[in-house]
Amino acid sequence: MSSSSTATAQAPEAEHDAHGHGHGHDAHGGHHAPQSFFHKYLYSTDHKIIGMQYLFTGMFMALIGGFTVYAFRMQMAFPGMSVPGYGRVSAGDYNALVTTHGSVMIFWVAMPVLIAALGNYLIPLMIGCDDMVFPRLNRLSYQIFLLSVIVLIASFFVDGGAFGGAWTSYPPLSAKAQYNLTPLGAPMCLTAVALEFAAFLMGGINFVTTVMNSRAPGMKMFDVPIVIWSIIIASILFMASVGPLIAGAIMLLFDQTLGTAFFDPNKGGDPVLWQHLFWFFGHPEVYVVLLPAMGIVAEVIVTFSRKKLFAYKTVLYTMVGTGVISFFVWAHHQFVAGIDPRMANIFSVTTLLVSIPVAEMVFVYIATLYGGSIRLTTPMLWALAFIAEFLLGGVTGIYLGSSGADIYFHDTYFVLAHFHYTFFPIAFIAVFAALTYWFPKMFGRYMNEAWGKVHFWGTIIAFNFIFIPLFLLGARGDHRRIYDYTHFPDLMKPGMQDLRVLATVSLVVLLCFQVIFVVNYFLSMVRGPKASANPWKANTLEWAAPSPPPHGNFPDGLPTVHRGPYEYSHPDRQEDYWPQNAS
């Protein structure tokens, strides 16, 4: 770093020293000297800036994830064509594109946006304090995350190209360069994932500690908004499940680079061990991203139904229950990996069990809607769509959790469609609900509702037209990971290629509709009509802060909490809402 930027870094700190550590509520927020662009936006310790850094990095990565899926879907619908904007997709390219799409969307879009961006932005605001408990650790966690992004993007351009062994990285394909043909891409991809885990572990510890120790005076356990609970439970799930995969990543990295023999049966190792380590993390990971999505939907549904959340404690306990059960389901990914069939039965049962708490949450949301004064704003549409689409994903999971049916469906497009019916609602539909719901808070302006709804319908309809054909294809035995179906007459029966074309065309339509969102989002930041502090008349504490909140969040003093977060349409009140901090 240059000496001039270090000098500017010390200026506000020196000023702060004069106040000492004992500054009261009123003194806070007023004594921050104007900062350079670098310190305000790129090297800030403010949780809101860090949250937006995660958000915009995640959005940028979503462009990469979207572009890769466009390229390889075009190859599948129109084999051998020169894809506009990419060129001809070779077999090696195809593997790399599929792998990059999977890794990027899960590790660099869903995780940073749902957990890191929303967690950072919302936690201090919604529990009524001025920042995270460890602001510098928070900044470090983003910097390490950014490093992981750089390593991953660099791996696209090294000799041999990006890793092509699928996001699950099963050895021996991932362990030996003579099989995967990406001597640099494979270790770099793994290093990027490991760096990202380190960043999120730091972030998770910060989140959990902040919520445990720094809640506003008066905020008891059951006064914490559901979205904050969901992020905390997700962070704990992540912490408790990622360890074996960090260990596994080190082991696989050593297998790749040092020639160790963890996953090499010739020297006493076992390739299935990786699958256990990976899925012991991989399945709880589904719930790590699902729970924050469920939390977002709870907030949006309650606000726009003007009704108390039907059963706060039930949602909370089912979230914990989901988390606990999610540790005992991982081997349902390995029914055909040669595991003991008796063990497969046990994992079938646990897998079906996990649908109970998730269904319970959905019932609670529907019960909340029942009899409410529903307002179909853009965020509400996204929240309702989440419930409908995620249900389809959940129901198709029943087929795959049953080991007998799974042996037929394994590695077909049915699995892929099921997975996307859960992940697309989580990583996009719920995220759009969150981005549109908290937009007035984040930027102090409204987004355009009409264009918001156009984007909503364009996305939802196109989404279903992508994946319903893939369900049908999967049920007909269409195998995944095939580069060119014209070589497989069994998979070229009448109608099958038409369904592939339909899915691809729908994907292109869906991607085009995202342009509307991006333009609406960024244009509304500067052109949208000004929003008040509490435009949705909601109860939670972030709406007590100005829009957008300044550094320190609450310039009129940190709030005190008097009641739970969901006191809407209370019979004793004139207004149909009752903010948590109102006396």
Partner 1 sequence: MSSFPRPIATTRSVTGISTGKLAVWWLIASEIVIFGGVLGSYLMHRIGHPEWASHAAHTNTWAGAFNTLVLLTSSLFAVLAHQAADQKDGKKAAKFLYLTVLGAFTFLIVKSIEWTGEIQAGYTISSHTFWSFYYTAAGIHGVHVLAGAIIMLVIASDAKKGVDLQRVEAVGLYWHFVDIVWIFLFPLLYIAK
Residues in contact with partner 1 by CB under 8 A are 12-14, 16-17, 19, 21, 23, 25, 28, 124, 129-136, 201, 204-206, 208-210, 212-215, 239-248, 250-251, 254, 258-262, 264, 267-270, 273, 276-277, 280, 552, 558
C-beta closer to partner 1: residue 19 or 573: 19
C-beta closer to partner 1: residue 273 or 454: 273
Beta bridge partner(s), residue 83: 87
Min. distance of Cβ 239 from partner 1 in angstroms?
4
Min. distance of Cβ 51 from partner 1 in angstroms?
15
Min. distance of Cβ 405 from partner 1 in angstroms?
29
Min. distance of Cβ 443 from partner 1 in angstroms?
23
- Within a 13 Å sphere around the CA of 381, how many CA atoms are in the beta-carbon half? 17
Q: Which of 298, 420, 437 is nearest to 361 (CA)?
A: 298
How many whole angstroms from its chain centre is CA 339?
31
Min. distance of Cβ 228 from partner 1 in angstroms?
14
For 578, phi and psi rounded to 5 degrees?
-145, 90
Min. distance of Cβ 212 from partner 1 in angstroms?
5
C-beta closer to partner 1: residue 220 or 527: 220
C-beta closer to partner 1: residue 276 or 453: 276
C-beta closer to partner 1: residue 55 or 242: 242
Can the peptide bond before residue 225 be classed as cis, meaning omega within 30 degrees of 0? no
| Contact partners, residue 401, CB within 8 Å, separation at least 6 | 329, 332, 348, 351, 352, 355
Task: Give the containing element (helix H, strand E) for 352.
Answer: helix 341-369
495 in helix, strand or coil? coil
C-beta closer to partner 1: residue 132 or 298: 132
Distance CA 344, CA 322 (A): 20
Given CA atoms 252, 253, 254, 258 in this order, what sign does their dihedral have?
A: positive
In this structure, the dihedral spanned by the alpha carbons of residues 390, 410, 62 and 299, taken in order and rounded to 10 degrees, is 20
Min. distance of Cβ 275 from partner 1 in angstroms?
12
Task: Give the containing element (helix H, strand E) for 199.
Answer: helix 185-213
82 in helix, strand or coil? strand
C-beta closer to partner 1: residue 159 or 340: 340
**Length of the chain, in residues:** 583
Look-up: residue for tokens 């995350």? 145
Q: Which of 312, 292, 289 is nearest to 302 (CA)?
A: 312
C-beta closer to partner 1: residue 210 or 534: 210
Min. distance of Cβ 225 from partner 1 in angstroms?
16
C-beta closer to partner 1: residue 270 or 567: 270
Q: Which of 256, 244, 143, 141 is nearest to 191 (CA)?
A: 256
Min. distance of Cβ 478 from partner 1 in angstroms?
35
For 446, phi and psi rounded to 5 degrees?
-90, 150
